[in-house]
């Protein structure tokens, strides 16, 4: 069926300025790490993607290695773009990354200029795009001078293959260095993508301050701790869930102390008339330094649940205290 986007798509979403840049991102963005690969169902992920766009999600996040198999998420995303969203490219912020193993030999991994430039060329082919909006160094590379990785990002922008650049998984001191070098090169760092949720809080130990001080945006990934911070695992491990697949979220991560925390958090969410997923996203979005939260979703129902986080992301001091007590 021919897809016609909802005319109301810009009415519900909140758009936040990304650091001190000119670009705004939706408060909720969609990532294609899982659920969009070669082994997933086309009609399902097409529905999720188009529903996201209908709800004002303008930002889609990919990486060279997303799938499985690696590269298949970019290919699948490219086909939907071409078939359904061809007339809407200018309404989209598309990001991709390179930094993890993508091909054999010494040039298919980490942070050399050789790898980043060739990888982005491959990503553009897979997505059938002339340029991406944001290109990331997916992780810092201890074996490559940070100057080389940053100059690859600068080169890519000058070549017109990306409009903006970002960094992901860089600790506070590494991020500070990267941001400084990029600034000197004349290609400011737009955004940082750290793992950040109620269950993963290293970003609070300096990184968020570095980003704020330098006018760089922040888009936490896995804000639902891959589904742990939802009501999904309250009564066991459902068939087909990420934990049931046991690759990135292992069943043994659902320990008794974690389950006790999830149950207690769920009670606070209920007292706020929210689902746990909504409260977990709201808890991140309450901080002005957070530009957008980067969720994953395996169904339209999950997406709709998560989007309602925007109805309330204010917390009382008492609620915050109770949450801290559960988490500590
Ligand atoms: N930069 C990096 O190194 C890096 C690393 C990881 C991820 N990322 C990015 O971040 C994105 C999001 O990561 P993520 O998928 O781990 O995020 P997440 O939002 O923490 O987890 C998403 C998963 O949680 C479950 N879920 C989502 N909403 C739900 C709801 N309302 N109720 C019940 N279950 C729900 C679904 O799992 P089921 O499949 O079980 O239904 C879904 O696939 C990725 O797609 C990628 O773009 C970046």
Which residues touch 96 (CB under 8 Å, ≥6 apart)?
Answer: 61, 62, 63, 64, 74, 120, 123, 127, 132, 134, 135, 136
93 backbone dihedrals φ, ψ, rounded to 5°: -110, 110
Which residue's C-alpha comes closest to atom 45 of ligand 1? 31
State how far the Cα of 15 lies from the Cα of 5, in Å rounded to an integer.
19
Q: Would 191 be classed as within a structural domain?
A: yes
Tell whether ligand 1 has an atom less than 6 A from the beta carbon of residue 64: no
What pLDDT, on the 0 to 100 scale, is given for residue 110?
Answer: 98
What pLDDT, on the 0 to 100 scale, is given for residue 167?
Answer: 99
Over the chain, what is the mean pLDDT?
97
Which residues touch 305 (CB under 8 Å, ≥6 apart)?
Answer: 230, 275, 277, 278
Which tens digits make up the pLDDT trace of 141-191?
Answer: 999 999 999 999 999 999 999 999 999 999 999 999 999 999 999 999 999
> With bands split at pLDDT 50, 70 and 90, how would you rate the model's confidence at 13?
very high
Classify the phi-psi angles of 293: left when phi > 0, otherwise alpha if psi is within -120 to 50, otherwise beta: beta
Name the helix (H) or strand (E) containing 15: strand 15-17
Q: How many domains does the chain contain in total?
A: 1
Q: Would 74 be classed as within a structural domain?
A: yes
Compute the average pLDDT of residues 229-249: 94
Name the helix (H) or strand (E) containing 282: helix 276-285
Compute the average pLDDT of residues 294-316: 98
Which residue's C-alpha comes closest to atom 4 of ligand 1? 221
What pLDDT, on the 0 to 100 scale, is given for residue 26?
Answer: 99
Tell whether ligand 1 has an atom less than 6 A from the beta carbon of residue 295: yes
Q: Smallest Cα–Cα separation from 153: which of 124, 102, 117?
A: 117
- DSSP, collapsed to helix, strand or coil, labels residue 178 as helix
* Domain of 99, in residue numbers: 15-233+283-312
Q: Would 239 be classed as within a structural domain?
A: no
Which residues touch 293 (CB under 8 Å, ≥6 apart)?
Answer: 27, 28, 29, 219, 220, 223, 281, 284, 285, 309
Q: Would 268 be classed as within a structural domain?
A: no
Q: Would 287 be classed as within a structural domain?
A: yes
SS (H, E, C) 198-267: CCECHHHCCHHHHHHHCCCEECCECCCHHHCCCCCCCCCCCCCCHHHHCCCCCHHHCCHHHHHHHHHHHH
Residue for token digits 């790898």? Answer: 115
Compute the average pLDDT of residues 255-259: 95
CATH number, position 165: 3.20.20.100
Which tens digits make up the pLDDT trace of 31-85?
Answer: 999 999 999 999 999 999 999 999 999 999 999 999 999 999 999 999 999 999 9
Tell whether ligand 1 has an atom less than 6 A from the beta carbon of residue 59: no
What pLDDT, on the 0 to 100 scale, is given for residue 1?
Answer: 79
- Probe residue for ligand 1, chosen from 25, 31, 200, 303 as the CB with the greatest number of ligand atoms within 8 Å: 31
Residue for token digits 């992780």? Answer: 139
- DSSP, collapsed to helix, strand or coil, labels residue 312 as coil
CA 181 to chain CA centroid, nearest Å: 24
What pLDDT, on the 0 to 100 scale, is given for residue 229?
Answer: 98
Residue for token digits 């706020």? Answer: 272
Compute the average pLDDT of residues 288-303: 98
Q: Would 50 be classed as within a structural domain?
A: yes
Q: Kindly report which listed range (176-180, 234-238, 278-282, 301-305) carries the lowest average pLDDT score.
A: 234-238
Q: Would 131 be classed as within a structural domain?
A: yes
What pLDDT, on the 0 to 100 scale, is given for residue 2?
Answer: 87
> With bands split at pLDDT 50, 70 and 90, how would you rate the model's confidence at 134?
very high
What pLDDT, on the 0 to 100 scale, is given for residue 142?
Answer: 98
Ligand 1 atom at minimal distance to the Cα of residue 244: 40
**Per-residue pLDDT for 246 more than 90?**
no
Q: Would 216 be classed as within a structural domain?
A: yes
């Amino acid at each position: 069926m021919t897809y016609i986007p909802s005319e109301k798509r810009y009415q519900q979403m909140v758009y936040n300025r990304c650091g001190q840049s000119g670009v705004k991102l939706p408060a909720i963005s969609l990532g294609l790490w899982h659920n969009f690969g070669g082994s997933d169902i086309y009609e399902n992920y097409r529905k999720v993607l188009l529903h996201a766009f209908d709800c004002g999600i303008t930002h889609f996040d990919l990486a060279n290695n997303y799938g499985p198999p690696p590269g298949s998420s970019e290919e699948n995303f490219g086909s939907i773009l071409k078939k359904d969203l061809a007339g809407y490219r200018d309404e989209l912020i598309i990001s991709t990354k390179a930094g993890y193993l993508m091909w054999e030999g010494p040039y298919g991994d980490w942070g050399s200029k050789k790898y980043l430039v060739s990888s982005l060329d491959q990503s553009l082919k897979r997505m059938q795009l002339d340029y991406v909006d944001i290109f990331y160094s997916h992780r810092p590379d201890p074996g490559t001078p940070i100057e080389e990785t940053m100059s690859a990002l600068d080169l890519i922008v000058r070549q017109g293959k990306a409009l903006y650049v970002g960094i992901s998984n860089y600790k506070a001191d590494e991020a500070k260095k990267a941001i400084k070098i990029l600034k000197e090169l004349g290609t400011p760092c737009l955004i940082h993508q750290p793992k950040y949720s109620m269950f993963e809080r290293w970003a609070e130990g300096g990184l968020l301050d570095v980003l704020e001080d330098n006018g760089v945006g922040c888009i936490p990934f896995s804000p639902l701790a891959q589904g742990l911070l939802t009501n999904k695992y309250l009564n066991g491990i459902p068939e087909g869930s990420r934990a049931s697949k046991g690759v990135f979220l292992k069943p043994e991560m659902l320990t008794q102390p974690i389950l006790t925390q999830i149950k207690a958090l769920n009670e606070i969410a209920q007292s706020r008339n929210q689902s746990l997923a909504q409260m977990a996203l709201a808890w991140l979005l309450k901080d002005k330094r957070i530009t957008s939260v980067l969720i994953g979703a395996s169904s339209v129902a999950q997406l709709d649940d998560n989007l309602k986080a925007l109805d309330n992301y204010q917390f009382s001091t008492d609620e915050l205290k109770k949450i801290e007590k559960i988490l500590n």
